[in-house]
Amino acid sequence: MKAADTAWRHTLAKKPPVVTAPAAPTRLGVRKTYKLFIGGKFPRSESGRTYLVNGDNVALASRKDARDAVVAARAAQPKWAGATAYNRGQVLYRIAEMLESRRDEFAAQGVPVAEVEAAVDRWVWYAGWADKIAQVHGGANPVAGPFFNISAPEPTGVVAVVAPASFLGLVSVIAPAIVTGNTVVVLAAGPQAAVTLAEVLATSDVPGGVVNILTGNAAETAPWLASHDDVNAIDLAGVTDLDLATELERAAAGNLKRVLRPGDPENDFAGDPGLKPMVALLETKTVWHPKGF
Amino acid sequence: MFEYAPAPESRSVVDIAPSYGLFINGTFEAPGSTGGVFKTVNPATEEVLAEVSAAGPEDVDRAVAAARSAFGPWSALPGAERAKYLFRIARIIQERSRELAVLESLDNGKPIKESRDVDLPLVAAHFFYYAGWADKLEYAGFGENPRPIGVAAQVIPWNFPLLMLAWKIAPALATGNTVVLKPAETTPLSALFFADICRQADLPPGVVNIITGAGETGRTLVEHPGVDKVAFTGSTEVGRQIARSVAGTGKRLTLELGGKAANIVFDDAPIDQAVEGIVNGIFFNQGHVCCAGSRLLVQESAYDEVMESLKRRMATLRLGDPLDKNTDIGAINSAEQLERIRVLTDAGSQEGPERWSPPCELPAQGFWFAPTIFTGVTQAHRIAREEIFGPVLSVLTFRTPAEAIEKANNTPYGLSAGIWSEKGSLILAVADKLRAGVIWANTFNKFDPTSPFGGYKESGYGREGGRHGLEAYLG
Amino acid sequence: MTATLDLRASLHGLPGVDKVGVEARAAALATRSVKTTAKAAAIDLAIRMVDLTTLEGADTPGKVRALAAKALRPDPADSSCPHVGAVCVYPAMVPYVAEVLAGSGVHLASVATAFPSGQAPLDVKLADTRDAVAAGADEIDMVISRGAFLAGRYDHVFEEIVAVKQACGDAHLKVILETGELATYDNVRRASWLAMLAGADFIKTSTGKVPVAATLPVTLVMLEAVRDFRARTGRQVGVKPAGGIKTTKDAIKYLVMINETVGDDWLDPAWFRFGASSLLNDLLMQRTKLTTGHYAGPDYFTLD
């Protein structure tokens, strides 16, 4: 939110990002345009809008970009949920590997190295959950009758996320959602780090559409996601404006989205996340079958 | 035909008072100046059973305040002691189940064999189940020191009045919360009887408060600032309003809402049992069941056989006096609900599907609707999309498993579904792809306190029953 | 070989039976409450459906004559009490029973074909059958070769039934499936169809000589089979649960089941029988209770 607010004024960058040492006097640095991440591709905003963040041009997502991201997330969801838990765990671990190898890039964007490392470790932690959460959160129910009865968790579907400002926060809301087979549309706060994370994801065997990242003004796009009938849940972790949070929660009631309310603004996401972030985005499916011959 | 003589259960086993107050802080009180009174009738005869209080805002205030002051001591009580209260309540329900069954059938219109053989045993079992959790919460997987939330506002429907009360109150109390519960306007009596059971069990005053009234009372309760947790079972439309009203308040919310379940019959199904499952799926409790199998999807290659068997079976259903032990289909719960069923079935008739009911004489007094099926229904028809909440089945067909899954999931609801086949791999593959919280394979409408129940999508969120059911009441 | 394949394909192509579902349905029907006038009508119908049976090594001419007399007049104190459907005895006892029943309308059934095991050569079984018919039996209760059935030799079982049916001549053939040994409901349904395809006039649950005899769900599966068979072929086949049905309450549960699954057409001694012995006295005691208004005692009913 903070980054977006600053950029909103279209101010010039105070200083360019540190990419190369400015030794050679004649060479002009190449600036990157930070684009959206939708369906595994990096499109510009359909609106053609950009905004400046620390000297970089960043795509300013529109409601139509949000709509496209939901389409991409919905298209990817059944196959991602249908992948084996082992496979999803492997993909998450691959994300950790790729993130580890690009630590410096995040550091150059101002993310403390310790935080990048914590984010890598968080991916590793969730990677291991992929094939365990069903055992911890599901089980056999000893019903009073001749029936086999089991409850198993399933992903809730497409999850919209208003991400917290910190990089570790961003990873801490995406990972628990996707590890169980949900797909996400993320409204990112720190755009450069978020798009760089998207580049990590794009090179980590994450199927296109599983994670979609939009940069821009969450207050503009979030209401469209909150009221979208093809979104199953919304995580308001990064919403700091309580009136906006209430408005979004109210809009989410339209199709009875699962709502994760804004967390403690002081949360640095360093602690043990516990099961809640995963469980909140799971449905429990209970299957009965008679036993007999 | 072998005619059964009338076999009525005795109405006199239960005493119904001419009027009832509100159960607040352990005593029955008259409503305050903002409240009022209303009548509850027997839907099978339209006879007035009792006059019941309508709680107004002042009464809601008092009930919430009573629950609030009881919360401290109740939540501080050792789990093992809370457990014993719940065990005691469960035992009293067992002992008094004949009275309760008769009362439930009188007030609701459901057949006595269902209140006696389904509702009451499940009610007692639910209290027994959650009683045992009260001193084991740290082993439930919700952290080492799970805490109650506070005062729970609970609003329940009229289709299973006492069972829905059990589903709400038992886990709330086991986890250390206190409750204010509002039963449905048309079925308040068993909840008021339960209030008396709480006294008989010496439950501390204020732990359970029962306030009666219509939708306005429910709204006042749910929106009351002194409430920490809202649990609602009812229609999706009201659920949506509650979700909106709770937004921004920080109140925890769980919702069990409507459904339009597909009951899928493959051509290799055990046909005779599938037909029983279809009948049980839609005609159990007059179809007043949120998880009713109201859309029958039959594989085209088995269509003729299934429909012939189904019609033959429907012809044996016995509709009439809910207190007769041989009644299969009782009364529609209210004139209002009967009207809703009529509106939707009239729409069904006009849209093209063929309508069929077995020969069935309806009593002159009371609210009745003959078991009805519509064939030739498509996904576009209103009766395939909207919840009718009555004894009305829409029959659709499919050719392949993929088509069955697609049609089953093509609804904003996601509460339950049925699958009938003798092929295990088919059942598991279909169960895996259905977006619904409860899947009954080769059975239907089975319930158990250990088995989590609740929906996907617009059928609500949260689960009731089992270990999962504790989560809704832990902070 | 082709016949075997066809038979196997037909029997295994029948819809499966879900155990829990069929047992739940039978249990639900068993909760029907049948009182007053309905109960009185049911008791008289049940008496008319009784195959009054004695199948003991110790049976003697005197014993079976007394049984036959009771079959004719179950309640000597009440002339309005109907006679039973049939008397059922071993072939050696048939001549003695025939003398008593002659011209009465009470049928005479005999268990033939190496009852109860069925473990004898076919010619012995056929001779057994012919002898019983010649001695006066107009109903033959045969047993199928369960071993052959369980081994999948459906053609063998089929041909035996065809041969026995031929040996019966005009006598009605009841085919005993011995469902307790068939073990699964799927087998009960397949054996029912096999027997009907081979020409059975009745299908019967049990010999009464193995631990598991007639049950409500087994009978339900058999009733569904005769219902479906008639729908397919036009031929009506009767059903006889036998063994373990001892009380009026039990018998009424069966009648309710007929009523609500196959209907009126089978509510007749020509199409439904109870293979029983002690059941009759309980029916008589309940009948007396309904007539007199007080409970009856066993000393007031004959023990034959």
- Residue to mutate among B115, B272, B427, with most C CBs inside 10 A, is B272
C23 and A291 within 8 Å at the Cβ level: the answer is no
Q: Do B277 and C21 touch (CB under 8 A)?
A: yes
* ipTM given for this complex: 0.97
What pLDDT is recorded for position A3?
45
Q: What is the mean pLDDT of residues C241-266?
A: 97
Query: CA B349, CA B347: separation in Å to the nearest integer?
Result: 5
* Model confidence band, residue C303 (pLDDT cutoffs 50, 70, 90): confident
pLDDT value of position A26: 85
Is B118 in CB contact (< 8 Å) with chain C? no
Coil, helix or strand for B179? Answer: strand
Residue A1: predicted pLDDT: 40
Split at pLDDT 50, 70, 90, the class of B392 is: very high
Contacts of A229 in chain B (CB under 8 A): 412
Could you give the 3-state DSSP secondary structure of residue B167?
Answer: helix
Active-site residue, from C240, C253, C282, C304: C240
CA distance B303 to B306: 5
Find out whether the peptide bond into A265 is cis, omega within 30 degrees of 0: no
Answer yes or no: do C15 and B272 touch at CB < 8 A. Answer: yes
Question: Pick from C155, C156, C154, C175: which is nearest to C165 by CA?
Answer: C175
Nearest-10 crossing angle of helices C2-12, C185-197: 130
Phi, then psi, of A20 in degrees rounded to 5: -130, 160
Q: How many CB pairs under 8 A join B and C?
A: 67
Tell me, yes or no, if B361 is annotated catalytic: no
Say which of A136, A145, A255 has its CB closest to residue B458: A255
Q: Check residue C221 and give its pLDDT.
A: 98
DSSP 3-state of B411: coil
Q: Using the beta-carbon criterion (under 8 Å), do B453 and A290 form an inter-chain contact?
A: no
Confidence of residue A148 (pLDDT cuts 50, 70, 90): very high
Q: How far apart are alpha carbons C207 and A20 in whole angstroms?
A: 96
Task: Please say whether the beta carbons of B466 and A151 come within 8 A.
Answer: yes
Subunit partners of chain C (3 or more CB pairs within 8 A): A, B
d(Cα B179, Cα B78) in Å, to the nearest integer? 18
CATH of residue A165: 3.40.605.10
Assigned domain for A81 exists: yes
| pLDDT tens digit sequence for C106-165 | 999 999 999 999 999 999 999 999 999 999 999 999 999 999 999 999 999 999 999 999
Considering Cα of B347, then B348, then B354, then B357, what sign does the dihedral take?
Answer: negative
pLDDT digits (tens, 9 = 90+) for B277-296: 999 999 999 999 999 999 99
Q: What confidence score (pLDDT) does residue A14 get?
A: 55
**Is any Cβ of chain C less than 8 angstroms from the Cβ of B316?**
yes
* Residue ranges making up the domain that contains A254: 2-8+38-290
- Closest residue of A to C185, CA-based? A293
Which residues of chain B neighbour C16 with C-beta distances below 8 Å?
268-270, 422
- To the question of domain B262-441 being in CATH 3.40.50.12780, the answer is no
**Contact with chain C for residue B272, Cβ under 8 A:** yes
Going by pLDDT thresholds of 50, 70 and 90, the confidence category of residue B23 is: very high
What pLDDT is attached to residue A16? Answer: 56
Q: Which residues of B touch C37 (CB under 8 A)?
A: 5
Of the candidates A290, A291, A293, the beta carbon closest to that of C184 is on A293
Phi (first) and psi of residue C204, to 5 degrees: -125, 145
**Which pLDDT value is given to residue C28?**
97
Catalytically annotated residue among B9, B104, B185, B256:
B256
- Residue A218: inside a domain: yes
Q: Are A7 and A53 in contact (CB under 8 A)?
A: yes
Q: Do A287 and B452 touch (CB under 8 A)?
A: no
Q: B4 and C33 in contact by Cβ < 8 A?
A: yes
- Choose from C17, C19, C186 for mutation: most chain A CBs within 10 A: C19
Rg (CA), chain B: 22
Whether CATH 3.40.50.720 fits C2-293? no
Any B CB within 8 A of C22 CB: yes
Give the per-residue pLDDT at B93: 98
| pLDDT of B184 over the 90 cut | yes
- Chain B nearest-CA distance from A129, in A, is 15
Q: B26-83, pLDDT tens digit by residue?
A: 999 999 999 999 999 999 999 999 999 999 999 999 999 999 999 999 999 999 999 9
Contact criterion met (CB < 8 Å) for A290 and C184: no
Pairwise CB contact (< 8 Å): C20 & A290: yes
Specify the amino acid at residue A168.
L
Under DSSP, the state recorded for B115 is: I
Nearest to C41 by CA among B5, B105, A287, B14: B5
| CA distance to partner chain A, nearest, from residue B46 (Å) | 37
**Dihedral sign of CA atoms A34, A39, A44, A47 in order:** negative
Residue A124: both structure tokens together: 């590793």
Q: Which residues pair with B423 in a beta bridge?
A: none
Minimal CA separation from A131 to chain B, in Å: 17
C18 touching B, CB under 8 A? yes
| CB-based contact A253 B247, cutoff 8 Å | yes
User: By mean pLDDT, which of A1-15, A235-249, B380-394, B418-432 is the weakest?
Assistant: A1-15
Would A23 be classed as within a structural domain? no
CA distance B208 to C5: 68
- Distance between A244 CA and the closest CA of chain B, angstroms: 9
Q: Which of C20, C34, C260 sits opposite B316 (nearest CB)?
A: C260
Task: Evaluate whether residue A244 is within a structural domain.
Answer: yes
Q: How many domains does chain A have?
A: 1
Q: Which residues of chain A are within 8 Å of residue B454 when distances are taken between CB atoms?
A: 284
The token pair at A275 is 């099961």
- Tokens 């036959």 identify what position? C68
Q: Do the Cβ atoms of C160 and C191 come closer than 8 Å?
A: no
What percentage of chain A reaches a pLDDT higher than 70?
92
- The model's confidence at residue A17, banded by pLDDT at 50, 70 and 90, is low
Q: Residue A13 pLDDT > 70, yes or no?
A: no
Q: Which residues of A make CB contacts under 8 Å with B?
A: 136-137, 139, 141-145, 147, 149, 151, 156, 229, 232, 242, 245-247, 249-250, 252-256, 258, 261, 274-275, 279, 283-290
Which residues of chain C does B271 touch, with a Cβ-Cβ cutoff of 8 Å?
15
CATH number of B11-257+457-473: 3.40.605.10
CB contacts of B239 in chain A (<8 Å) are 256
Which one of C204, C250, C253, C282 is the catalytic residue? C204
Task: Round the average pLDDT of chain B to a whole number and report it.
Answer: 97
- CB < 8 Å to B456, chain A: 156, 283
Q: Calculate what percentage of chain C has a pLDDT beyond 70.
A: 98
Confidence of residue C304 (pLDDT cuts 50, 70, 90): confident
Return the minimum-mean-pLDDT range out of A23-32, B59-68, B325-334, C58-67. A23-32
Which residues on chain B are in Cβ contact (under 8 Å) with C38? 2-5
Q: Looking at residue B354, what is its pLDDT?
A: 97
Alpha-helical runs (H) found in C89-215: 94-101, 122-134, 146-150, 154-168, 179-182, 185-197
CA distance A18 to A196: 15
Digit-coded pLDDT (tens) for A204-229: 999 999 999 999 999 999 999 999 99
| pLDDT value of residue A7 | 45
- Which chain C residues contact residue B1 at CB under 8 A? 259, 263-264
Contact B182, B154 (CB under 8 A): yes
Residue B275 C-alpha, separation from nearest chain A C-alpha, in angstroms: 16
Which residues of chain A does B248 touch, with a Cβ-Cβ cutoff of 8 Å?
242, 245-246, 249-250
Quote the minimal CA–CA distance from A248 to chain B in Å.
8
Inform me whether the pLDDT recorded for C4 exceeds 70.
no
Cβ distance B443 to A252 less than 8 Å, yes or no, reads: no
Answer yes or no: are the C-beta atoms of A137 and A211 closer than 8 Å: no
pLDDT band at residue A20 under the 50/70/90 scheme? low
Region B343-352: what's the mean pLDDT? Answer: 96
CB contact (8 A) between residue C35 and residue B7: yes
> C272 vs chain B: nearest CA distance in angstroms?
14
Q: Which of A141, A229, A284 sits opposite B450 (nearest CB)?
A: A141
- In the numeric block, the tokens 């007999």 are attached to A292
In a domain, A210, yes or no: yes
A27-86 pLDDT, tens digit each: 998 889 999 999 999 999 999 999 999 989 999 999 999 999 999 999 999 999 999 999
Put simply, the answer to whether C32 touches B276 (Cβ < 8 Å) is: no
Over range B298-323, report the average pLDDT. Answer: 98
Q: Report CB contact under 8 Å: B452, A246.
A: no
Calculate mean pLDDT across residues B444-461.
Answer: 98
